[in-house]
C-alpha cells in the first residue's frame, strides 16, 4: 500500500509541476493525457490494482480515486487560472482609439434628394401620395388648364424651353396638379417633385434647370389654414422644431387667394441683422402657394361650391441651400466629389 501511496505522491508531484509549468490549454491537455488519459500513468496504476491481494484492492482503489479526483480538481483550477491570466492579458491591451478608422465603401444621396425625402416622408405620414410625371408637357397642362390662357401676362414669368409650338419643358411642377385631378375624383392629396426648366442665365441664385416640389390637397372643407398647418409641419421637419411660417398676399393665376410663403430663418433664428441667408429680414422665402382657383377646379370638373383645395410649389434647391448652408446653387450641379462626400 505504502508503495502505491509513494508512487502516487511522486506522480502527483510531477503532475502538479506540469500544471504549474503549463502556459496554455494545450499543455494542460497534454498533462491530462499523460497522467489521466487512457494510457496515462494513473490509469496504468489503476489497472495494476488487479494484481494486488483481493483484500487490499478496495483500499487501493479508493486511494487512487481520491488522487484522481484531486488531480482533476487541480487540472480544473489550472484551467481557470490560465483563463483568468488570458483575460488579464487581453484586457491589458491598449490601442490608440484616435487612429483613423477604416473607411467603409459608402456612397451618398444628393442633398436635393435628401431634402425631397424629408418633405415626402412628412407628407406621406399625413396621407399624401408622391406622384411623378413627364418633364415635356403640352402648354395645356403648363398654362391653359391652370387659368393661364394664351396672352396672359403671367406666361411671361415662365420663360420656357420649347420643343414645338405647343410642347415645352415644364417650367414648374404644376402640370402634375392637372394630370392628377384629371385621373382622380376628390379627395386628392399629392406631392409632385421633379425637374423643371426656365431660360434663366446661370448665376449663384439661378439655374435653368432646377427642382420643384408641388403639393396639392383638394377635398371638402379644405381651407387656407390647412395649408399653413402642413407647411409649418414641413418646415419643422426640414429646419427644426421651432420653425414658423408666414403668408404674404401674392398673385398666381392658378390660386386665389394666393400667398408667398416665408419661414423663419433657421440660420439667424429669425433675428435678422447681418445674416447671409436671409439678408437680415429674419425670413426665408420658400415659394408660392394658395387656394386652387375655382377656374382650375371647374376645368377639372370639380364643383368649386363643393370642393376646395390648396396647392404650393417650392424650389428644392432653395430649401437645400437654407438647410445645408450652401453658398451657390451651382454646387448642386457641379457634383464635386468633396461636396457630395459631405452628404454621405
Partner 1 sequence: MRVPIAWLREYVELLDDSQTIADRLAMLGFPVEHIEERPQITGVVVGRIVELDKHPNADRLQVGKIDVGTGSLLTIATAATNVAAGQTIPVALIGAKLPHITIERRKMRGLESEGMMVSAEELALPPEWFEDGIMQLDADLPLGTDVVEHFRLSDDVLDVEITSNRVDAMSMIGLARELAAAGGAPLRLPSFDNPGTALDAPGVAPRVTIASADCTRFVTQRFDGLRVGPAPAWMRIRLALAGQRPINNVVDISNYVMLETGQPLHFYDDAGVRDRHLIVRDARDGEKLTTLDDVTHTLTPLALVIADEDGALGLAGLKGGKTSEVSPSTTSILLESANFNGARIRRMSAKLGFRTDASSRHEKSPAASLTSIGAARAATLLTAIGAHAYAPHDFGEPLEPAAPIHFPLRDIRRLLGFDQSADRTRRHLESLGFGVTPLDGDAFSVVPPPWRRDVKHRADVVEEVARMAGYENVPTVIPTIAPHEIDGGEYHLEQRVAASLASLGYNEIITYSMVGADSFAKLRLGNVDRQTEAIEIRNPLSEDQRYLRIMLLPSFLAHIARVDRPLRIFEIAHVFTHANDYIDETQQVTFALAVEPGEEHAWHDPHFLRLKGDCEVLIRELTGRTPETVQDSRPVLHPGKMAAMMLDNQEIAVFGRVDPRIEHAYDLRLRVYVGRMLFNRIPPYIAPRYNPPSKFPSTYRDLALLVDLDITAAQVEQTVATAIGEFCVGVRVFDEYRGPGIDADSKSIAVRATLQRYDATITDDETDDLIARAIAALHNDLGARIRA
Report CA 158 to chain centroid distance, whole Å: 36
Q: Helix 57-91 crosses helix 2-21 at what angle (to 10 degrees)?
A: 10
Does 36 bind partner 1 (CB under 8 A)? Our answer is no
CB of residue 101 to partner 1, shortest distance in Å: 16
CB of residue 309 to partner 1, shortest distance in Å: 10
Nearer to partner 1 by Cβ, of 61 and 149: the residue is 149
CB of residue 185 to partner 1, shortest distance in Å: 9
Residues 239-268 that bind partner 1 (CB under 8 A): 245-251, 256-260
Q: Helix 57-91 crosses helix 25-36 at what angle (to 10 degrees)?
A: 170
Q: Rounded distance, CA 170 to CA 193, Å?
A: 12
| Residue of the chain from 17, 84, 167, 204 that contacts partner 1 (CB under 8 A) | 167
Cβ-defined contacts of 208-211 (< 8 Å, 24+): 208/161, 209/333, 210/315, 210/316, 210/317, 210/329, 211/112, 211/116, 211/315, 211/316, 211/317
| Residue of the chain from 118, 135, 144, 299 that contacts partner 1 (CB under 8 A) | 135
Does 230 bind partner 1 (CB under 8 A)? Our answer is yes
Residues 53-92 that bind partner 1 (CB under 8 A): none
Q: Helix 316-324 crosses helix 224-239 at what angle (to 10 degrees)?
A: 40
Residue range at the interface with partner 1 (CB under 8 A); choices 11-19, 41-49, 122-130, 263-271? 122-130
What string of DSSP letters covers 15-41?
HHHHHHH--SHHHHHHHHHHHHSTT-H
Contacts of 70 (CB under 8 A, 6+ apart): 12
Nearer to partner 1 by Cβ, of 11 and 343: the residue is 343
| Residue of the chain from 112, 115, 300, 321 that contacts partner 1 (CB under 8 A) | 112
- Asked whether the beta carbons of 147 and 254 are under 8 A apart, the reply is yes
Quick note: the x/- pattern for partner 1 over 90-109, rule CB under 8 A, is ---------------xxxxx
Residues 325-344 that bind partner 1 (CB under 8 A): 332-333, 335-337, 340-341, 344
Residue range at the interface with partner 1 (CB under 8 A); choices 15-23, 67-75, 91-99, 161-169? 161-169
Nearer to partner 1 by Cβ, of 57 and 223: the residue is 223
Torsion of CA 331, 334, 338, 340, to 10 degrees: 80
Strands 188-197, 129-130: pairing kind? parallel
Nearer to partner 1 by Cβ, of 131 and 268: the residue is 131
- Asked whether the beta carbons of 56 and 64 are under 8 A apart, the reply is no
Nearest to 285 by CA among 255, 254, 312, 264: 264
Does 286 bind partner 1 (CB under 8 A)? Our answer is no
Instruction: Give ∠ CA 170-175-180 in degrees, rounded to 5.
Output: 150
Secondary structure string (H, E, C) spanning 170-232: CCCCCHHHHHHHHHCCCCEEEEEEEEEECCCCCCCCCCCEEEEEEEEEEECCCCHHHHHHHHH
Does 184 bind partner 1 (CB under 8 A)? Our answer is yes
Does 141 bind partner 1 (CB under 8 A)? Our answer is no
Quick note: the x/- pattern for partner 1 over 196-215, rule CB under 8 A, is -x-x-x------xx------
Nearer to partner 1 by Cβ, of 3 and 336: the residue is 336
CB of residue 186 to partner 1, shortest distance in Å: 8
| Residue of the chain from 47, 85, 206, 223 that contacts partner 1 (CB under 8 A) | 223
Residue range at the interface with partner 1 (CB under 8 A); choices 3-11, 39-47, 88-96, 154-162? 154-162
| Residue of the chain from 32, 172, 293, 318 that contacts partner 1 (CB under 8 A) | 293
Amino acid at each position: 500500500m505504502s508503495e502505491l501511496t509513494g508512487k502516487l505522491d511522486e506522480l502527483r508531484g510531477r503532475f502538479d509541476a506540469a500544471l504549474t509549468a503549463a502556459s496554455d490549454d494545450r499543455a494542460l491537455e497534454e498533462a491530462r493525457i499523460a497522467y489521466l488519459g487512457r494510457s496515462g500513468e494513473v490509469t496504468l496504476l489503476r489497472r495494476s490494482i488487479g494484481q494486488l491481494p483481493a483484500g487490499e484492492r478496495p483500499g487501493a482503489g479508493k486511494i487512487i480515486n481520491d488522487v484522481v479526483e484531486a488531480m482533476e480538481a487541480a487540472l480544473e483550477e489550472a484551467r481557470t487560472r490560465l483563463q483568468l491570466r488570458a483575460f488579464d492579458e487581453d484586457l491589458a491591451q491598449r490601442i490608440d482609439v484616435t487612429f483613423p478608422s477604416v473607411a467603409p465603401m459608402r456612397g451618398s444621396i444628393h442633398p436635393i434628394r435628401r431634402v425631397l425625402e424629408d418633405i415626402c416622408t412628412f407628407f406621406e405620414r399625413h396621407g399624401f401620395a408622391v406622384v411623378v410625371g413627364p418633364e415635356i408637357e403640352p402648354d395645356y397642362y403648363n398654362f391653359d388648364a391652370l387659368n393661364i390662357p394664351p396672352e396672359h401676362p403671367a406666361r411671361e414669368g415662365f420663360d420656357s424651353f420649347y420643343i414645338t409650338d405647343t410642347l415645352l419643358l415644364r417650367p414648374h411642377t404644376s402640370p402634375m396638379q392637372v394630370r392628377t385631378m384629371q385621373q382622380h375624383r376628390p379627395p386628392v392629396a399629392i406631392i409632385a417633385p421633379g425637374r423643371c426648366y426656365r431660360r434663366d442665365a446661370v448665376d449663384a441664385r439661378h439655374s435653368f434647370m432646377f427642382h420643384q416640389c408641388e403639393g396639392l390637397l383638394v377635398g371638402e372643407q379644405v381651407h387656407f389654414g390647412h395649408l399653413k398647418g402642413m407647411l409649418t409641419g414641413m418646415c419643422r421637419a426640414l429646419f427644426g422644431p421651432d420653425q414658423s411660417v408666414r403668408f404674404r398676399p401674392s398673385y398666381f393665376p392658378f390660386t386665389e387667394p394666393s400667398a408667398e410663403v416665408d419661414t423663419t430663418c433657421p440660420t439667424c433664428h429669425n433675428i435678422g441683422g447681418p445674416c447671409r441667408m436671409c439678408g437680415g429680414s429674419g425670413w426665408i422665402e420658400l415659394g408660392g402657394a394658395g387656394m386652387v382657383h375655382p377656374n382650375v377646379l371647374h376645368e377639372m370638373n370639380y364643383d368649386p361650391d363643393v370642393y376646395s383645395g390648396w396647392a404650393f410649389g417650392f424650389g428644392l434647391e432653395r430649401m437645400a441651400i437654407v438647410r445645408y448652408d450652401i453658398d451657390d446653387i451651382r454646387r448642386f450641379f457641379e457634383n464635386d466629389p468633396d461636396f457630395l462626400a459631405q452628404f454621405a
